[in-house]
Amino acid sequence: MTIHNPVPPVPFAGAATLVIGGGRNIGREVAREFARRGARLAVADLDLEGAEEAAALIREAGGEAVALPCDVSSDASVKATVASAEAALGPLAILMNNAGILSGGNPEDIPVAAWQQMMDINFFGMVRAIEAVLPGMIARRRGHVVNTASFAGLYPFATSRMHYAASKAAVVSLSENLAVYGMDHGVRVSCLCPGPVMTTSVLGMKHWSENYTMRAPGSHLTVKSQEETARILADGMEAGRIIVPTHDEVWDTLRERAASPDAYVIKKHGEFASGDSGKPAVPAEFLANKP
């Protein structure tokens, strides 16, 4: 779907691009997809080894990429990462904020410190990067900021990780408001909202409760690959889309919720009470390669 975004697009070809949180999973595949479309990459991650592996894959495929360390909880680290990326590639045309953490549990068991850490990494990490990059984009009247949110930030289901859902809802709001603001300054904004995607992110997650049920976005959905997710994002950016979900079914969900938020919340409770935890269908090829 083509969107008549009033801000001129930033072509991937030749674009100096920083992907923060690009060392593994979705971030790595997004960096590789951007590179396939001609972008010049700085891949940054707290896990520098992962960033180096991602950059090496891009270079092996004929692209240009450097690896950088980045701790998004640190103002100084984020500023240093941006400075290093621009020293290597020139002024940034595309910034993707993909770094994030995940943990689960019932809300009464999750300490305030864990809520604060979730917001500091998942939300303020993006704020730090935007603060470092946005003034230059505005001065050049050219740029594209991409933030990774989640279906958990779009509608209620993540009762088993409310602190995560709250951080992602904040990312959605930040992205939409920044998109409005950016239209006066030549800066595009997109918000990737993954639904169920096959990643390894859940393998190391901390659990604050025992024997709790992990709620998922809907049993009517099917898990997508990281590679398809990256293509969906890149296509959406080229089309001028602001909210870029991995599954188009989410629009039906959002229309239903908008019609009556109260009724939707009650319906969701009824689904959970009946034993439907919202776990999506997993394609056979993913099960065969499950880590």
**Active site positions, annotated:** 164
User: CA angle, corner 89, sides to 201 and 143, nearest 5?
Assistant: 75
Contact 150, 168 (CB under 8 A): yes
147 beta partners: 97, 191
Nearest of 216, 201, 250, 246 to residue 228 by alpha carbon: 246
Nearest of 246, 96, 102, 255 to residue 165 by alpha carbon: 102
Contact 85, 137 (CB under 8 A): no
Report the first-to-last Cα separation within the chain, whole angstroms. Answer: 35
Contact 85, 68 (CB under 8 A): yes
